[in-house]
Structure 1
């Protein structure tokens, strides 16, 4: 006697010919990841001239130019002089607000991102003229 515990072939039942398993495909390997950049992105010279340095994002997150939404002033603006320990912005990553120091001494000549903009690791944030 056939029941649900016996296989269909043991019971002599015919399988439904309209249901056939599809072809078996092998998974395609993902392309190799590009070489990782250093964990800490130091300020690097910009293409403008030898005295222009870029301050780059050390992490992925959200860029904030002010300490809080109600703050009237941004941490820095074009024309401000910064020292290596001057906080230039905050980057929020996973609900942690990280103060980003300039790590260079000079004058801000360009702000390259907007407030609350998403930034990637290594994205240029500011241009600094180190000759001033």
Structure 2
């Protein structure tokens, strides 16, 4: 139990980002940039959540940087919720790379096959 608590305490929490309702945007790209840096600079255990909100909906992607089988990976998990129901688990990905493109920061080389945006929801 103590070992688990010690591991949980060292995860860096990158700033979250959210979109909505409407045209409201919060957080910018600081969290995505934080995950990119964590991945590229020694595979620092980090977590970041990107969310979109509607009138009665919430769609989120959570990105977690960590080591699996000796490699730096990004675990991506999706949730979707219609208020007041509990969240439903969506897709999950295990990605081997995070990189900056001309217009975005993405996780790619994923299983199942995908390229997942860290700044825009719905672009896999």
**What is the TM-score with the length of structure 1 in the denominator?**
0.23
User: Which gives a bigger RCO, structure 1 or 2 (Cα 8 Å, sep 6+)?
Assistant: 1
**What is the TM-score with the length of structure 2 in the denominator?**
0.24
Larger radius of gyration, structure 1 or 2?
A: 1
